[in-house]
Structure formats: structure tokens, C-alpha cells
Amino acid sequence: MKRKFLAAAMALALTAGMLSGCSSSTGSAPENKETQTTSAATTEATKAAETKAEETKATTGTGTLVGVAMPTKDLQRWNQDGSNMKKELEDAGYKVDLQYASNDVQTQVSQVENMISNGCQILVIASIDGSSLGEPLSQAKAMGIPVISYDRLIMNSDAVTYYATFDNYKVGQKQGEYLVEALDLEKATEPKNIELFTGDPADNNCNFFFGGAMDVLKKYIDSGKLVVKSGQTAFEQVATANWDSEKSQNRMDTIIAGNYSDGTVLDAVLCSNDSTALGVENALASSYTGKYPVITGQDCDIANVKNMLQGKQAMSIFKDTRTLASQVVKMVDSVMQGGEAEINDTKSYDNGTGIIPTFLCDPVVVTVDNYKDMLITSGYYTEDQLK
């Protein structure tokens, strides 16, 4: 509403300025009452617009209510994302309505609707199901409330203003490249056995995680250097609803029983994140007796870093949510001041209504060799948390 008022006033000022310029260029027509009235109105409108702009700038971050919708508290990373976001926004002077939806779509829909009705002036949403928020986001758009899609791209809605995330395709690439090197696939003369796990099919990021990894690994699968003994390679076969550790554990138990209980060696497991990796590791601990496989992950959850230190997980992708939170706060500031947020990708993320302007943060591979620098020295964790 503030931006519409300012735009209207500036347009009126420009129109009046053009009329005045045309009159003076003839050098013959004296200023009449209509021109004087227009000039006075223009002056008043311009002053009002300038005052309004100053008020907007002065109040940005001061009492402005920001709605932050997170999917669940069940995964460590979302607790960290939510708390980092809340702290960064409050430090910048905003009020924050932070809600977790317990991985229930209808709960998140209701929470977003309540944020709108309670006066939130901008929304930051990490969706459970990227296509489930159409109705509340239509309300937000009708009321001029900007929406920043956080980490997970909101699909099929033209209400999304910006998207902030990590380079999720690169996450998958790094996982795939790590496996190629760890298994020495370029020089391997014997086939290596691998199984594949990704996350929730409703999470659009999975397409990037799994796609990035498979773009690296597919040629080795096609050539026979990598063998998926379960035969499960399609996205629909390897997806894990809600990124649930128990579901990945149950599936891994079944795979072990059907393919590796006879002493066949499992060389590697591609896991798109740490919660699926944790389930795989639990299954291996209970029913696998062969040589331990190379396992990938993402998020550097505490339980998984501990497993890494014990040799039960080879690597995890570190996505420093403090970096992402800081970037989103900058986006909020820019939008609330009527400007454009910083972005670095205008090609990759189409949510079904068009390309969403995006800021991508870089992911980093963490192993036992660099975890102290990445996680402890950086202040992300303390040493006691990883004992």
C-alpha cells in the first residue's frame, strides 16, 4: 500500500512537471489558475509521498511483524533454521511470529492464514508440501503481502516474490563426486554395489538433490561399475516420505534382507540427507555384517556428526543456516523498504508460474578431516555437543 501511494504521487509529479515544461518553452502563455492549482497539488502530493517514504524507511524493522513458517521440529535442522531466523530478525528490530507445523499440511495452511489475519506484513515460508499453500498465498497476494520461499521452493503460486536456499543441485553433485572418489570408480576393475535414498517427494528440493547426484553417478551405473542390487533407481522408488528416519530404516532392512544377507558386500549408500542416512545406519547396525559402506548425508546433524567420528558415515553437506538466515533478513529489509532484494540466480527455479528470483548460498563438504574448522571453530557447535 505504501509503495502504491508513492508510485501514484511520483506519477502525478512527473505529469505536472511535463505540463509545466511545455508551457514555459513557448515563452508566451502566462500561468493560469488551473496550472497554479495543479502545481500546488503536485507540491502537496510530492511532500506527502516523501513523508510516507521517510516513515516507511524509519519504521522498517521497528515493530514490523514477520511471519516465519517452518515445517517441523522433528528434524534438528528446522529447529536451527527457525531459531536463527527469529534471532536475526529480532536483532534487526522486527517482531516475529514463528510457527512449526509438525509436518502437517493443513496445520501449516492454518498457520499461514493466521499470520495474514494477525497483521504480518511479509511472510517467510519453508513449506511442507510445495503445492499446498495456494489459498493462503492468494490471500497474501491480494493484500500486497510479499512472500519469501525459504529453502524449499513453493510451487504453483504466483504470490512468491523471492526464493532463498542453498544450491541444492550442487549438494547432490558434491555427494555424487564424493562417492566417485571414495570408491575410486575411475580406476575400479570390479563393480561396486550401491543403494539409493532420497527424501520427501513433496519437497521440490529432492529433485535437485537426487538429480545432481545421479547426473554424476548414472554413467557408472550404466557402464556396470556401480550396481544397484535392489534394482531401485527411480525417484519414486527411493523417495522417503517426510524424510523420516524410521521409514528409511525399514526400507534398508528390507534391502539388506533381500540382497546382502548372504555376505554380499554393500560398498556405498547415497543418502540425500542426514535423517535418511541415520535410518540407513540404524538398519546396518542391526542386520548387516559385511564391510561397512561409504554413506553420504546432508545438514551435519549432531547424531550424524557423531556417527561420522565413529566411522559410520563418510561425509555430510554443511549448509550453514546462519548464512541463509542472514541473507533472508537482508531480503526482508530490501522488500520492506520498497526495493529489490539481492539475487544471484534468475534461471534455475521455475515454480510452475515462472522463474522465481533466487539467492543461492554455497554448500560445503564436511568430513572427519575438516569438521573442527567447519563446525566447531565457526561456532556452529561446541565440542561438548559432539561428544
DSSP for 26-76, please give it.
HS-PPP-HHHHHHHHHHHHHHHHHHHHHHHHHHHTTSS-EEEEEES-SSSH
Among candidate residues 290, 319, 348, the one where a domain is terminated: 319
Q: Is there a single domain that holds both residue 40 and residue 93?
A: no
* Beta strands at 364-366 and 316-318: parallel, antiparallel or unpaired: antiparallel
Cα atoms in the Cβ-side hemisphere of radius 13 Å centred on 333: 15
pLDDT in tens, 145-179: 999 999 999 999 999 999 999 999 999 999 999 99
Domain assignment of residue 364, yes or no:
no
pLDDT of residue 44: 56
In this structure, is residue 292 part of a structural domain? yes
**pLDDT, position 238:** 98
Residues 302 and 161 in one domain: no
- My answer on whether 124 and 177 are in the same domain is no
Same domain? For 278 and 242 the reply is yes
In this structure, the answer to whether residues 201 and 297 fall within a common structural domain is yes
Q: What is the model's pLDDT at position 4?
A: 38
**Bigger pLDDT: 57 or 337?**
337
Higher model confidence: residue 9 or residue 138?
138
If asked whether residues 8 and 75 sit together in one domain, one would say no
Residue where a domain terminates, one of 302, 319, 336: 319
- Note the pLDDT of residue 77: 86
Percent of the chain residues topping a pLDDT of 90: 80
What CATH number does the domain containing 208 carry? 3.40.50.2300
Split at pLDDT 50, 70, 90, the class of 63 is: confident
Looking at the fold, whether 211 and 273 belong to one and the same domain comes out as yes
- Please give the residue that has the higher pLDDT: either 35 or 70: 70
> Which SS3 state, helix, strand or coil, does residue 302 take?
helix
pLDDT of residue 34: 42
How far apart CA 170 and CA 266 sit, in angstroms, is: 25
* pLDDT tops 90 at residue 333: yes
CA 108/CA 122 separation, integer angstroms: 16
Q: Do residues 177 and 124 both lie within one domain? A: no
Q: What is the mean pLDDT of the segment spanning 19-42?
A: 41
pLDDT of residue 296: 98
pTM for the full predicted model? 0.77
Say whether both 313 and 339 belong to one domain.
no
- Residue 176's domain spans which residues? 169-319
Length reported for the chain: 387
The number of folded domains in the chain is 3
- Tell me what the mean pLDDT of segment 252-260 comes to: 98
Confidence of residue 76 (pLDDT cuts 50, 70, 90): confident
Judge whether 301 lies within some domain: yes
Q: For residue range 99-127, list pLDDT tens digits in order.
A: 999 999 999 999 999 999 999 999 999 99
Written as nine digits, the cell of 191 is 563393480
Do 209 and 190 lie in one domain? The reply is yes
Asked if the structure places residue 366 within a domain, the reply is no
Long-range CB pairs of 132-140, under 8 A, 24+ apart, other chains included: 132/105, 132/108, 132/202, 133/108, 133/109, 133/157, 135/109, 136/109, 136/112, 137/112, 139/113, 140/112, 140/116
pLDDT tens-digit map of 183-239 = 999 999 999 999 999 999 989 999 999 999 999 999 999 999 999 999 999 999 999
366 near 171, Cβ under 8 Å? no
Q: State residue 24's pLDDT score.
A: 35
Interstrand relation of 316-318 and 147-150 (parallel, antiparallel or unpaired):
unpaired
Q: In terms of DSSP bridges, do strands 226-227 and 192-197 run parallel, antiparallel, or are they unpaired?
A: parallel
Query: Per residue in 358-381, pLDDT tens?
Result: 999 999 999 999 999 999 999 999
Question: Which pLDDT value is given to residue 75?
Answer: 86
> CB neighbours (10 Å) of residue 143?
12
Is the model's pLDDT at 58 over the cut of 80?
no
> CA 351, CA 363: separation in Å to the nearest integer?
22
Asked if residue 14 has pLDDT above 80, the reply is no
Instruction: Give dist(CA 336, CA 3) in Å, integer.
Output: 10
Bridge-partner residues for 148, per DSSP?
Answer: 124, 162
In a domain, residue 386? The reply is no
Residue 133 has pLDDT above 60, yes or no: yes
Flag whether 101 is in a domain: yes
**pLDDT (0 to 100) of residue 130:** 82
Cβ atoms 256, 283 nearer than 8 A: yes
Q: Are residues 300 and 186 in the same domain?
A: yes
Report whether pLDDT(96) > 60. Answer: yes
Q: What is the mean pLDDT of the chain?
A: 87
3-state secondary structure of 96: strand
Looking at the structure, do residues 210 and 88 belong to the same domain, yes or no?
no
* Residue 341: inside a domain: yes
Confidence label for 294 from pLDDT (cuts 50, 70 and 90)? very high
pLDDT at position 136: 94
Pair 353, 158: CB distance under 8 Å: yes
Task: Answer yes or no: is 59 within a domain.
Answer: no
| pLDDT at residue 45 in the model | 45
On the question of pLDDT at 6 being above 90, the answer is: no
Give dist(CA 290, CA 197) in Å, integer. Answer: 20
